[in-house]
Structure 1
């Protein structure tokens, strides 16, 4: 499908969406190198494409600076129109995809960290084993993939979805607790406000959905020393297993591991709601609907493991 740019063209040559989309992507990423990584291509290739496009439309669209690309006034004047064109093109793509009614094709699922590795991945493998016509791609990444652009078809996430037209459903409550190695407890005893100055902790980065975990830990051990902050639950777990610190960890991951124990805190363990999100235009595609129903049933079967009643 060919689109015309919202710039003054003397030549009247049509521009296709790929040319226009390049401008939008470069403005979004802010540099050739970042855009090349995001698109899976090379910086010289994008530079050549940009030069050719600027020559075609007779407008300079970006100023090159050492720290990246700066959109010119001409570029800024068309970005909102490009966003509208992208939204329209994506809506067409999603609605055409929604007409598919067989269990064939690919599904991209996004999750994060331990949840994707230890919970979601086995679910998806079990589903794929039953449906040989479906290929599933799992992306474990802390980035918030855009479901409207179909960066992913299904997302599992702590916290709510902030994109338009996303249907979300809570699939589980994940209970956390304070965990330490047996050797650590032997050295420092059970935690309390009185002895918290002797404790070391490893914390998760202060992402919005993780604030409740950090706040609970700081209330529990107000004088403990934070020896490491990380964006990975697995990193926390490795530090705890090494007997170097305590951490707030999900029971599903930490409970039952040799040499680890859940510490008695005297307070309610924090719980995070896990939600599934899917764009409203694609949720009834046969293969996506089938996978949603399958994972919901799987999470129901894991309820007692993910949220133990008496940890």
Structure 2
């Protein structure tokens, strides 16, 4: 039995549909469909029920998942141990983070590192999903808060301060927001509540519960563009918003959120020379940025 066939089953269980699994695996839905049908014919077992909403694992499939997880863990352990025995400063490093962290902070750092080390190729994935570092979905991750995998080594690289921002045009039209008035007659742009950002949206809702929400978005860049129209307020990182012409940081007498930015890596991959070198370089590059990221720190 081919390990890739078994691995396909894991991907389908994790992603719940052929289309989602195909995107994650970098292939097409028809290809995965053919592979699944061939594997079910080979084993003479129905592993998934095809339903309009996706694939539902059968009892036969579920009964074997634990064994498949053990097989995958062992295969990945071998892969990581082989990787760390390669002491050459070359190869691919996959780094994942949130949109604006990747765009404004990581992209320049990673570009400098790659220019210094011609044998290294870096893939930057700006994505709110939590990639599994144990499965090598990514080699290094930067995210807010703690990592939810027990086998990950994490290191705080900065505290990122946020604040409430508006344009002068907005303030001339709507006036300075009044906490006592709970934001009546104010309009805001709200960041979609995902786990890593729940403190931001909760803070703004608690601060101005009566404000009208003009736009909900999962992107800091979209928030920034919306605020620059002069039609709304938003909670934005000081590092980005304070440097934009026309934006004003509003002091409402309430402490704004400060989120810890952490770098995470699997302990075995940390010993891989190119990964260790990049981590050390990234930490050194964040050091002079700390005041900009948290002006009050």
TM-score, with normalisation over the residues of structure 1?
0.91
Q: Which runs of 5+ in 1 are unaligned?
A: 1-14
2:294 pairs with 1:307: yes
- Aligned residue number for residue 88 of structure 2: 102
2:218 pairs with 1:217: no
2:134 pairs with 1:155: no
Q: Find the partner of 1:119 among 78, 82, 105.
A: 105
Does the CA contact (< 8 Å) of 2:179 and 2:252 recur in 1? Answer: no
Alpha carbons of structure 1 residues 60 and 217: separation in structure 2 relative to 1, 3 Å = closer
Cα distance, 1:47 vs. partner? Answer: 1.7
Q: Deviations over 1:184-214 (max 9, x none)?
A: 0111222212452011011111223323222
- Greater shift, 206-215 or 134-143, is seen at 206-215
Q: Give the Cα separation in 2 of the matches to 1:90 and 1:219.
A: 45
Q: Find the partner of 2:274 among 281, 287, 290.
A: 287
Alpha carbons of structure 1 residues 160 and 259: separation in structure 2 relative to 1, 3 Å = same
Q: Find the partner of 2:233 among 246, 255, 260.
A: 246
After superposition, the CA RMSD in angstroms is 1.4
- Aligned residue number for residue 55 of structure 2: 69
Q: Deviations over 1:265-294 (max 9, x none)?
A: 122221000000000110011110011001
Which SS does the other structure have where 2:270 is aligned? coil
Does the CA contact (< 8 Å) of 1:175 and 1:250 recur in 2? Answer: yes
Q: Deviations over 1:218-273 (max 9, x none)?
A: 33323211222111111110110001100110010100211111112122221000
- Aligned residue number for residue 278 of structure 1: 265
Alpha carbons of structure 1 residues 65 and 216: separation in structure 2 relative to 1, 3 Å = closer
Cα distance, 1:174 vs. partner? Answer: 0.3
2:193 pairs with 1:206: yes
Does the CA contact (< 8 Å) of 1:192 and 1:220 recur in 2? Answer: no
2:169 pairs with 1:177: no
Which SS does the other structure have where 1:256 is aligned? coil
Cα distance, 1:42 vs. partner? Answer: 1.9
Alpha carbons of structure 1 residues 43 and 210: separation in structure 2 relative to 1, 3 Å = closer
Q: Find the partner of 2:125 among 139, 142, 145.
A: 139
- Aligned residue number for residue 114 of structure 2: 128
2:217 pairs with 1:230: yes
Q: Give the Cα separation in 2 of the matches to 1:54 and 1:308.
A: 59
Q: Which runs of 5+ in 2 are unaligned?
A: none
Report which of the two structures shows the higher radius of gyration computed on alpha carbons: 1
- Greater shift, 37-46 or 134-143, is seen at 37-46
Aligned length, in residue pairs = 296
Q: Give the Cα separation in 2 of the matches to 1:130 and 1:153.
A: 19
Which SS does the other structure have where 2:261 is aligned? strand
Q: Find the partner of 1:165 among 151, 163, 173.
A: 151
Alpha carbons of structure 1 residues 211 and 52: separation in structure 2 relative to 1, 3 Å = closer
